[in-house]
Structure 1
């Protein structure tokens, strides 16, 4: 009569220590193969985890590891281990959802440096030179822009809807591909080029961090 409880007890010990005996590679395979990976991490691996919603703001020029994995990572795939602030962890992409992205370029004139009148006059001159040619938006962005986009010749890449400055976001749907126009904001004056028509792409990702 005592054999069955003893067997169950030994099985319980084996089950609870399974996660501790697994190698990192085995853990990754186990998580990827589980139908419910958070439950697998909790009940089988006995590891702490955290689920985060990551907003993809750009499809290039990523700001962090999370941004890069959210966009480039495959659903169900487990990546890592990574180390951050002394903590080792794995990352699994649980799900993705789309958003609208705009490809834009910018020449930014900072009105904390220039007067509004001068910035307005300079922007008209820049736009006129672009339209007349042979000077290009890219060349003039390197010469005049006062933002970090000087390094990329004005190119901001594909930027998610909802991330753009509201004044620019409102104007873009009204403009044609290749059109150059100016927009005022609290930060200054933005000369914008709508480089491409909008597209749907990965805009959100649900990701799980498993702490080792």
Structure 2
């Protein structure tokens, strides 16, 4: 008669598998790469540019993420394009951000220190912006990179990446309010755009919520 498997052995092997994900996420750079991929598919070169890492370093981190099946890739011409391995990865990351902000006091302190530099920046909620969009009394700018906008954005938003804002300032109408959004409450892109437009005399707001893998969230990274 075949003996039953050891419960202890089964538990040990199971938790070893779980630990594979934990070890994979022990790098701040790999977390940033996953966060960037939550915005949409990206090439290795694009990830390197946005994370300010070398292509070689990004490739090494991606290999570790690939081994844990947190990312996957396909080839488009000469480019290798990476995406999250599963939508559950994005859900897990949002849970991780919520847990970290809840349990780590340093994050709240960093948030306060960051926002105190922008006391004069006014914010609007998503509901307020949607009401204004419906009434036609506001222009909504998506200041994330173009690829992120193509992957997903709020209906009615206009794509003006932060590095192109100077080219568009003169064409923006000054008789209507402007709102800007990017990836979340800690995203510097939208705040920089709001400050720049304020200096140009626009009535402009920052949308605190960020666009994250097809949905809006207050708990997402830079």
Question: TM tier, shorter chain?
Answer: under 0.3
TM-score, normalising length: structure 1: 0.28
Q: Which has the higher strand share?
A: 1
TM-score, normalising length: structure 2: 0.27
Work out which structure has the larger RCO, using CA pairs closer than 8 Å and 6 or more positions apart in sequence. 1
